[in-house]
Structure 1
Amino acid sequence: MFVGDDWAEDHHDIEVMDSAGRRLARARLPEGVAGMVRLHALVGEAAGEAADGAEVVVGIETDRGPWVRALVTAGYTVLAVNPLQAARFRDRLGVSGAKSDPGDAHVLADMVRTHSHELRPVAADSAQAEAVKVVTRTHKTLIWERTRHTQRLRHALRDYFPAALAAFDDLDASDTLELLGKAPTPAQAAKLTVSQISASLKRARRKNVAVKAASIQAALRERHLGQPEEVAAAYAASITALIAVLTTLNTQIKALEGQVEAHFGRHPAAEIILSQPGLGVVLGARVLAEFGDDPDRYTSAKARKNYAGTSPITRASGKKKVALARFVHNDRLIDALLTQVFSTLKVSSNARAYYWRQRDRGKGHNAALRQLANRLVGILHGCLKTGTRYDEATAWSHHAELATG
């Protein structure tokens, strides 16, 4: 039997369909235990006497959450359907543009009935990998939030206190936030003494404190175009609030980093992932979290590369054939992989040689980086499949032969 599950925050629209496309049941179920119990009853009633041997395939537009976990635990085959795929399939069933939640449940049921072989089952990741994903995603989200608030702080300072931008390089650094909190207006900042500035720099464990303190004081006392005193005071109140948010974010990012290290360190694949060039604890944890650890999820290195979004897509029509970058991908994963690439270029001579070979072939900088990321994903896949650590000579032996041949 095939089940379409159109989920919302507090309910699920369900349609049960047989292999011939006949609707066996339809219902709106509440989220939670009560809804899951009713779903099991609905499936059981539809299956009748064959309930014990029935195979149930569920299509739903998400791959996480307690509802999905309960479906997998119950023994159902759960297929995660991309909302874009469902929208395209809906257009095949009708071109009027009509849409409803029960109608979406019907689309999902019919989609898994006819195209289940082309859809991705929900990965059976371990609880350890799920825990790593939770803390790494929150950690990265807080970093993104810190960047957004830092940009807001920069824009505010540019509008009324440009001397601060000349004085401080890192606006989200603890010493910068401390000094701006003490003196949020140009007039107050000009009165800061070298000893006050030095004390903040020492607490932040800066080097060359005396030189930096004198430089910061000089920059804060430079004459700049400003705002009337009343406007400056209003800006000062605004950035004081931003400073409080940034200070809290810094504290929580540091605390979550410890949780990322702890959860990742307990995973059995951590040693192999950390052996990869350019991957440290935090970045390695992100890569593990986004790839997952289901051993059957990626049937080949190509499948892992396709999911990563590093492999190109081909568009061919008539005599025209082009290879393009994938723009539909896991943003968090591609961010981690490209960060790994930049680090790898510094530590691996083979990776640098591979990058420059791509440039010599006429590829641009970004295309060469993606190609190197694609190669690194393939190396990681091989290491994880064979349970071996990264070895520079083994990983690049084939390309070294091509380069010298």
Structure 2
Amino acid sequence: MSERRARVWAGIDAGKGHHWAAAVDETGSTLWSKKIDNDETAILTAMGEILDLADKVSWAVDISGTSSALLLALLAAHGQQAVYVPGRTVNRMSGAYRGEAKTDARDAYIIAETSRQRRDFAAIDVPAQLAADLALLTAHRSDLVADRVRMINRLRDVLTGVFPALERAFDYSSQKGALVLLTGYQRPAALRRRGQARLTAWLANRSVRGADTVAATALEAAQAQQTALPGEDIAAQIVADLAAQILALDNRLKRVDKQIRDTFRGHPQAEIIESLPGMGPILGAEFVVAAGDLSAYADAGHLASAAGLVPVPRDSGRRTGNLHRPKRYSRRLRRVFYMSAQTSIIREG
């Protein structure tokens, strides 16, 4: 058995199916390097082997997300702190080592070596239950919103091919009544046969606000197009199906928004966050996820710096006072601040 060291540095190249871990000593020599399945038993076994190498182990990981969630949780449960080494840093550092081949083992070694030589990497904190819930909910909401945008674009594209006047008549991203209309009527001839009175009654029975206005607008578009275009029947089926999916997705978004709002307001600093200009429960939840523990920031300046809102100097030779926008910052946090500013301007306007 090799001699036990005082300290080693362990780098982990994280992945969905498996990780690769490497441990180096104070000279940069590899003491341990293995592939680890993304499985609790395999991770615990590897942790035990690495911890047996030294009195103190410094851990570094290149991914802080779902792929490394189990790994980071197990490290935290055993009192081990990991730091985050960005993939861009690993990529740049790889040029300082011999060879051009890119393998998981080599990346793990570079992560370990980089963390040994540098002390400025941010520590990874496993989120508390509320923060973890908000992270999952906000990510799920973003996916649903992206799906909605995609479906609306598809609906407009198909509708333009057979009934362009009706496509131009409504903003389908914000008018529920127009989507309800499309679940039943997608062709100009069908709208003309229905007529103003019966179409208004049909919409009103489905709780459409301003049913008479929606009906009048749709009939005006139908009167403007007397020609049936090729593929109209199939296109009508697709449009009706997409409209129904979008309406169902809107209901899902409402449920998710309520869940986010209820979860966020359980946060001890929720009231303070919502008092900020432009901040509501949804954006506040994204802020909690992006910023993490607010006590980690010494003041507002440090928080602004983390969002990349504070310029950094780039002096060279006689050129001083040359400032530029930072390249290393939390893009999610910057987005939250930009969105809150935009929302605040809209409200005040």
Partner of 1:103: 106
Partner of 2:344: 344
Describe the SS at the equivalent of 1:152. helix
For residues 380-404 of structure 1, the C-alpha deviation after alignment (integer angstroms, 9 at most, x for no partner) is xxxxxxxxxxxxxxxxxxxxxxxxx
Whole-Å Cα distance in 1 between the matches of residues 290 and 236 of structure 2? Answer: 41
- Following TM superposition, by how much is the alpha carbon of 1:170 offset from its aligned partner in structure 2, in angstroms? 2.6
CA contact under 8 A between 2:307 and 2:331: conserved in structure 1? Answer: no
Partner of 1:258: 258
Partner of 1:62: 63
Q: Which runs of 5+ in 1 are unaligned?
A: 48-53, 353-405
Choose from 42, 48, 55 the match for 1:41: 48
Aligned pairs for 1:303-382 (under 5 A) are: 303-318=302-317, 319=319, 323-326=323-326, 329-346=329-346
- Give the partner amino acid of 2:74: A
Describe the SS at the equivalent of 1:118. coil
Whole-Å Cα distance in 1 between the matches of residues 206 and 291 of structure 2? Answer: 39
Question: Is 1:2 aligned to residue 9 of structure 2?
Answer: yes
CA contact under 8 A between 2:61 and 2:82: conserved in structure 1? Answer: yes
Aligned pairs for 1:171-210 (under 5 A) are: 171=173, 173-194=175-196, 195-197=198-200, 199-200=202-203, 203-204=206-207, 206-207=209-210, 209-210=211-212
CA contact under 8 A between 1:57 and 1:77: conserved in structure 2? Answer: yes
- Following TM superposition, by how much is the alpha carbon of 1:326 offset from its aligned partner in structure 2, in angstroms? 4.9
Choose from 76, 83, 106 the match for 1:79: 83
- Following TM superposition, by how much is the alpha carbon of 1:232 offset from its aligned partner in structure 2, in angstroms? 1.8
Inter-CA distance 185–217: structure 2 relative to 1 (3 Å threshold)? closer
Inter-CA distance 199–112: structure 2 relative to 1 (3 Å threshold)? same
Partner of 1:368: none
For residues 273-298 of structure 1, the C-alpha deviation after alignment (integer angstroms, 9 at most, x for no partner) is 111121122222221222122522x2
Describe the SS at the equivalent of 1:63. coil
240-249 vs 132-141, greater mean Cα deviation:
240-249
Partner of 1:390: none
Partner of 1:249: 249
For residues 290-333 of structure 1, the C-alpha deviation after alignment (integer angstroms, 9 at most, x for no partner) is 2122522x234333223223334444445487544456654443
Describe the SS at the equivalent of 2:23. strand
CA contact under 8 A between 1:4 and 1:59: conserved in structure 2? Answer: yes
For residues 46-96 of structure 1, the C-alpha deviation after alignment (integer angstroms, 9 at most, x for no partner) is 22xxxxxx22211111223122121122222211121111101111223x4
CA contact under 8 A between 2:189 and 2:226: conserved in structure 1? Answer: no
Whole-Å Cα distance in 2 between the matches of residues 193 and 326 of structure 1? Answer: 61
CA contact under 8 A between 1:128 and 1:267: conserved in structure 2? Answer: yes
Identical amino acids, percent of aligned pairs: 23
Aligned pairs for 1:150-299 (under 5 A) are: 150-171=152-173, 173-194=175-196, 195-197=198-200, 199-200=202-203, 203-204=206-207, 206-207=209-210, 209-223=211-225, 227-228=229-230, 231-293=231-293, 295-296=295-296, 298-299=297-298
CA contact under 8 A between 2:188 and 2:225: conserved in structure 1? Answer: no
Kindly report the root-mean-square deviation, in angstroms, between the aligned alpha carbons of the 2 structures.
2.6
85-94 vs 300-309, greater mean Cα deviation:
300-309
For residues 153-176 of structure 1, the C-alpha deviation after alignment (integer angstroms, 9 at most, x for no partner) is 222222222122232223464322
Describe the SS at the equivalent of 2:83. strand
Q: Which runs of 5+ in 2 are unaligned?
A: 1-7
Partner of 1:379: none
Whole-Å Cα distance in 2 between the matches of residues 192 and 55 of structure 1? Answer: 78
- Give the partner amino acid of 2:252: Q
Describe the SS at the equivalent of 1:24. strand
For residues 336-382 of structure 1, the C-alpha deviation after alignment (integer angstroms, 9 at most, x for no partner) is 3222112222556xxx9xxxxxxxxxxxxxxxxxxxxxxxxxxxxxx
Describe the SS at the equivalent of 1:129. helix
CA contact under 8 A between 1:5 and 1:13: conserved in structure 2? Answer: yes
Partner of 1:27: 34
Whole-Å Cα distance in 2 between the matches of residues 248 and 223 of structure 1? Answer: 30
Describe the SS at the equivalent of 1:333. helix
Describe the SS at the equivalent of 1:9. coil
CA contact under 8 A between 1:129 and 1:293: conserved in structure 2? Answer: no
Inter-CA distance 294–338: structure 2 relative to 1 (3 Å threshold)? closer
Inter-CA distance 196–317: structure 2 relative to 1 (3 Å threshold)? farther
Partner of 1:301: 300
Whole-Å Cα distance in 1 between the matches of residues 244 and 189 of structure 2? Answer: 21
- Give the partner amino acid of 1:233: D
Describe the SS at the equivalent of 2:56. coil
248-257 vs 105-114, greater mean Cα deviation:
248-257
- Give the partner amino acid of 1:63: S
TM-score after normalising by structure 1: 0.75
Whole-Å Cα distance in 2 between the matches of residues 37 and 211 of structure 1? Answer: 65
Partner of 1:366: none
CA contact under 8 A between 1:125 and 1:294: conserved in structure 2? Answer: no
Inter-CA distance 224–278: structure 2 relative to 1 (3 Å threshold)? farther
Whole-Å Cα distance in 2 between the matches of residues 328 and 185 of structure 1? Answer: 52
Whole-Å Cα distance in 2 between the matches of residues 204 and 337 of structure 1? Answer: 37
Describe the SS at the equivalent of 1:221. helix
Whole-Å Cα distance in 2 between the matches of residues 150 and 2 of structure 1? Answer: 50
Describe the SS at the equivalent of 1:279. coil
Inter-CA distance 155–344: structure 2 relative to 1 (3 Å threshold)? same
Q: Larger helix proportion, structure 1 or 2? A: 1
TM-score after normalising by structure 2: 0.86
